[in-house]
Amino acid sequence: MGVIIDRLRGGLIPSVAVIVVLAVLPIAGVPRSWILYLFLFFIYLAMANMWNLLCGYSGLISLCQPAFIGLAGYTLVIFTWHGLPIYLGIIGGAIAAAGFALFISIPVFRLRGIYFAIGTLVVPEALKCVFLLWRPIGGTIHGGGAGYVLKGATGFSTTDVYWLALGIAIASGFCIRIILRSRLGLGLAAIRDNDRTAASSGINVFKLKLYSFVIGAFVTGMAGTIFYIYQSYIEPISAFNIRWTMTLILATVIGGMRTEEGPIIGTVIVVFLHFILARYAGISLLIQGTLLVIIMLLVPQGITGFIRKTGTYRCLLLKF
């Protein structure tokens, strides 16, 4: 019993306290800019956790996350334009993203390594072209391409959207923790190290990769719908933009891949960079790419891995 209480004090209780504090911030009168920063942090964190699941834990260098985000966002818009509640649009968008991941898994899973990455990179670009030409909803188009305003978004206050974002961030963290402590997590770790050896050991490589791919798409799509509730507008160029991919890679690599804390630390830095680089919109991708290369060269294990490594060295020094 004492061990259980110590674990609760050491992990669960501080986490619950942080969640409660974050939940009450919108009604505590904090500046609106803080709410925006935290909102983006929650959205990016949920997506980064899923990319960490795919690339870090499953060995799938997936670059098609913008496809899930954009497709989920358009599903949300289509639902609202047909008079359905936004909550159904959130669920429908997540299901559409997961269904699309299931659909494309058949061809892209035939590719390996860098070829898989290139194959998934093409997917959002193809969808961007489709939605630039196709009008999924009748009526007036706003802006270039099939751009639409989200109907019913005015019924959601900033606080409501903030709580939705907080909820998806917490859910993504719990999802990662549950997966890593399950047989699925053990199987994914074996596949990441060597999928051929894992297959020869009786592990169904395709099925486990498919599970992680679909789960990642579902949570990423849901986070995308919440983002577009806040933005209240969607159009193809930004929805299927490679900036989403760059953001997720930065957050995961900077914080530390294959760690639960890494995306949290990395997302804090990414949100900070998002507002710092806003004035340099034309070259922000170049700056982020340069930063990513520098981090991979100097600290390939990320900030979390560097801290753990440094802590290990300190412990060894203390022993001597």
Taking the domains of the chain in order of start, what are their residue ranges? 21-240, 242-320
* Whole-structure pTM value: 0.88
Closest CA to 56 of 290, 302, 310, 291: 302
Residue in 247, 255, 195 with CA at minimum distance from that of residue 220: 247
Q: Which two tokens stand for residue 137?
A: 């909803």
- The closest alpha carbon to 53, from 304, 263, 274, 320, belongs to 263
Q: Taking the C-alpha atoms of 168, 211, 59 and 195 in order, what is their torsion angle to the nearest 10 degrees?
A: 160
User: Which of the pair, 146 or 52, is modelled with greater confidence?
Assistant: 52
pLDDT at 25: 92
Residues 22-38 pLDDT 10s: 999 998 888 888 999 99
At residue 56 the predicted structure's pLDDT band, cuts being 50, 70 and 90, is confident
Copy the structure tokens of residue 47. 């997506």
3-state secondary structure of 233: strand
Nearest-CA neighbor of 255 among 240, 281, 273? 273
Rounded to 5°, the CA angle 92-98-103 comes to 120
pLDDT (0 to 100) of residue 140: 56
Burial class (CB in 10 A: 0-12, 13-18, 19+), 91: middle
For residues 199 and 233, the model is more confident at 233
| Digit-coded pLDDT (tens) for 251-265 | 999 998 888 889 999
Is-contact 201 190, C-beta < 8 A? Answer: yes
Mean pLDDT within 65-91:
93
SS3 call for 175: helix
| Average pLDDT for 212-229 | 96
Band of residue 3 on the pLDDT scale cut at 50, 70, 90: very low
Question: How far is it, in rounded angstroms, from Cα 182 to Cα 279?
Answer: 44
What are residue 149's DSSP bridge partners?
A: 233
- For residue 174, the Cα-to-chain-centroid distance in whole angstroms is 14
Secondary structure class of 149 (helix, strand, coil): strand
The DSSP result for 56-84, as a single string, is IIT------HHHHHHHHHHHHHHHHHTT-
Query: For residue 10, what pLDDT is reported?
Result: 52
Segment 228-283, tens digit of pLDDT: 999 998 999 999 998 899 899 999 999 988 888 899 999 999 998 888 877 776 67
Task: Check whether 82 has a pLDDT greater than 90.
Answer: no
Q: What is the mean pLDDT of residues 131-149?
A: 69
Q: How far is CA 189 from CA 47, 49, 125, in A?
A: 20, 16, 30
Residues of the chain with pLDDT > 90: what percent?
Answer: 46
Give the pLDDT score at 70: 95
pLDDT averaged over every residue in the chain? 85
